[in-house]
C-alpha cells in the first residue's frame, strides 16, 4: 500500500489520535485525550480549515494543519500551512514532511486559495530550501517574506479579571494607548 496522504475526516480520528498524543508529548504538553478529540472533531470536515495526515499501512505517521489567515495585503484569506509533524522514527528519512507540505499546498489550491503561507525559523535552511523546491515542483511562485510573529500570553489578564471585573473595560479605551505612547521609551 505504501505512504499516502489523506484529508482528515471525523471517521479517521481513531487513526490520527495516537500521532496527536505523540506530538503533544514531544511538545511537552500534558495530554488531554478527550479534550483533544473534541477539539479535532470541531475542526475536521470544514471547508476553510483542513488537516492532512500521512499514513502507512493504516497508521498515521505525519500531519500538517492548514487554516485560513486573513491578510489585508491580498484582501483575501491565505492558507496558513503549519504544525507539520512526523513521527520521530521516520523524521528525515523518507521526505514525509515535504510530502505533507506539498499536499497542504495542493489541497489549498483545490479549495480555491490564491495564496499560501508557510513559516520557519530564519536559520532553518533545510525548511527554507523545501519551500523553494515545493514552489518549483508545483509550478507556483514563492517569495521569502521577512516577518516577526508575536505570541501574546493572555492568561495573566484573564486571571486579573477574576479579581477586577472591570479590568478589560479599562483596557479597551483609547486613553490606554495614549498613556502608553506618552511613556519615555514607549512606542517601540
Read off the pLDDT of each residue in 65-92 and give the average, rounded to a whole number: 83
91 and 12 in one domain? yes
Q: Are 63 and 18 in contact (CB under 8 A)?
A: no
95 and 48 in one domain? yes
100 and 70 in one domain? yes
77 and 103 in one domain? yes
Domain ranges, residue 68: 3-138
187 and 130 in one domain? no
10 and 75 in one domain? yes
Instruction: With respect to residue 143, please indicate whether it lies within any of the assigned structural domains.
Output: no
185 pLDDT higher than 90: no
Residues in the chain, total: 188
pLDDT of 146: 67
**What is the rounded distance in angstroms from the CA atom of residue 119 to the CA atom of residue 23?**
19
Sheet of strand 116-118, all strands in order from the earlier edge strand to the far edge: 3-7, 50-56, 59-71, 76-86, 116-118
Look at the pTM and tell me if it is higher than 0.75: no
3-state class of 55 per DSSP?
strand
88 and 25 in one domain? yes
160 and 123 in one domain? no
**What is the rounded distance in angstroms from the CA atom of residue 101 to the CA atom of residue 70?**
20
46 and 128 in one domain? yes
Instruction: With respect to residue 145, please indicate whether it lies within any of the assigned structural domains.
Output: no
pLDDT of 41: 92
**What is the rounded distance in angstroms from the CA atom of residue 179 to the CA atom of residue 188?**
14
Burial category of 94 from C-beta neighbours within 10 Å (exposed 0-12, middle 13-18, buried 19 and up):
middle
The pLDDT tens digits of the residues spanning 21-40 come to 999 988 888 888 899 999 99
Amino acid at each position: 500500500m505504501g505512504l499516502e496522504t489523506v484529508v482528515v475526516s471525523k471517521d479517521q480520528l481513531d487513526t490520527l489520535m495516537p500521532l496527536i498524543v505523540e506530538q503533544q508529548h514531544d511538545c511537552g504538553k500534558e495530554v488531554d485525550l478527550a479534550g483533544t478529540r473534541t477539539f479535532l472533531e470541531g475542526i475536521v470536515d470544514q471547508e476553510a480549515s483542513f488537516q492532512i495526515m500521512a499514513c502507512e499501512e493504516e497508521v498515521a505517521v505525519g500531519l500538517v494543519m492548514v487554516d485560513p489567515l486573513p491578510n489585508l495585503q491580498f484582501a483575501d484569506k491565505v492558507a496558513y500551512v503549519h504544525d507539520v509533524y512526523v513521527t520521530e522514527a521516520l523524521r528525515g528519512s523518507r521526505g514525509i514532511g515535504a510530502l505533507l507540505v506539498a499536499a497542504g499546498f495542493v489541497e489549498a489550491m483545490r479549495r480555491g486559495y490564491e495564496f499560501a503561507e508557510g513559516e520557519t525559523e530564519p536559520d532553518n535552511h533545510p525548511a527554507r530550501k523545501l519551500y523553494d523546491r515545493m514552489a518549483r515542483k508545483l509550478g507556483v511562485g514563492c517569495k521569502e517574506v521577512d516577518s516577526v510573529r508575536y505570541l501574546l500570553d493572555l492568561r495573566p489578564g484573564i486571571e486579573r479579571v477574576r479579581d477586577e471585573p472591570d479590568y478589560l473595560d479599562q483596557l479597551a479605551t483609547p486613553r490606554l494607548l495614549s498613556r502608553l505612547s506618552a511613556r519615555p521609551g514607549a512606542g517601540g
